[in-house]
Amino acid sequence: MTQDAAASTPHLHVMDHPLVDHKLAILRARETPSHVFRQTLQELSWLMAHPTFAALKTETAQIDTPLEAMDVRRMASPFPCLVSILRAGNGLIDGFSQICPEASIGHLGLYRDHETMKPVAYYSSLPGDIEIRQVILGDPMLATGGSAIMAVDTLRDKGVSDIVFACLVAAPEGVAALHGSYPDVPIITAALDRELNDSCYILPGLGDAGDRIYGTE
């Protein structure tokens, strides 16, 4: 799938905002040091929370202001669960949890095998009642889509129906793969890039997200 074709994928939301582009430019630049990368990713995750949480379930409740009673809209219980695909997903999910501290946090440990480029699962920790929660699944990179699909497989096996996937940079190949397996899972991304290279890295991309966050290059 080309970048243009991917752009018209239903349920794909590509952010279009000067601050998002500015922060993404910092993340993409080769010379950006790890500590600046982490700080900028945190700031970008706050901006991404806006479209990512847009479909959050709410309820109406009556509260008293100091002056009178009023009906307010607030997050419905049970609160959502933020699920990080380790390890790079923590960069996004930490920021989301600062915006929405009531949410519980789950972790799915996956890494891409360097030979096969297929995801390998090594860890899982999710709330016991995750099937009744909305889930926001975060990973900065949607490349082949293998890791995101494996994470959604795991959540669906646990009975989760309501999942939003948030990433910083998506490749057309990853959008096609995730949408092909799970057309009902919305994808929120800060950018839709051109293509994958022969090593399944996103072009132009930002390199290896985990290494750039944690300085492990």
Provide the binding-site residues for ligand URA, judged by CB under 6 A: 141, 143, 201-202, 205, 208-210
Strand pairing category for 12-14 and 187-192: parallel
Dist. CA 193–CA 205, nearest whole Å: 7
Residues 68-87 that bind ligand PRP (CB under 6 A): 85-87
Binding of residue 145 to ligand PRP (CB under 6 A): yes
What is the maximum alpha-carbon separation in the chain? Answer: 65
| Residue 27 or 49 having the CB closest to ligand URA | 27
Distance CA 83, CA 52 (A): 13
Asked if residue 140 binds ligand PRP (CB under 6 A), the reply is yes
DSSP three-state, residue 184: coil
Check residue 141 for interaction with ligand PRP (CB under 6 A). Answer: yes
Sign (positive or negative) of CA dihedral 39, 86, 76, 50: positive
- Give the residue from 11, 12, 42 showing the smallest Cα distance to 189: 12
- Check if 64 is active-site: no
The phi-psi region of residue 79 (left if phi > 0; otherwise alpha if psi is between -120 and 50; otherwise beta) is beta
How many whole angstroms from its chain centre is CA 172? 16
Binding partner of residue 15 among ligand URA, ligand PRP, none, CB under 5 to 8 Å per kind?
none
Is 112 one of the annotated active-site residues of the chain? yes
CB of 141: closest distance to ligand URA in angstroms?
A: 4
Which C-beta is closer to ligand URA: that of 106 or that of 146? Answer: 146
Number of residues that bind ligand PRP (CB under 6 A): 23
- Dihedral sign (CA 34, 39, 40, 46): positive
CB of 70 to ligand PRP, least distance (A): 43
172 binds, among ligand PRP, ligand URA, none (CB under 5 to 8 A by kind): none
Instruction: Tell me which residues are annotated as active site.
Output: 112, 116, 208, 211
Where along the sequence are the contacts to ligand PRP (CB under 6 A)?
85-88, 110-112, 119, 139-148, 174, 200, 208-210
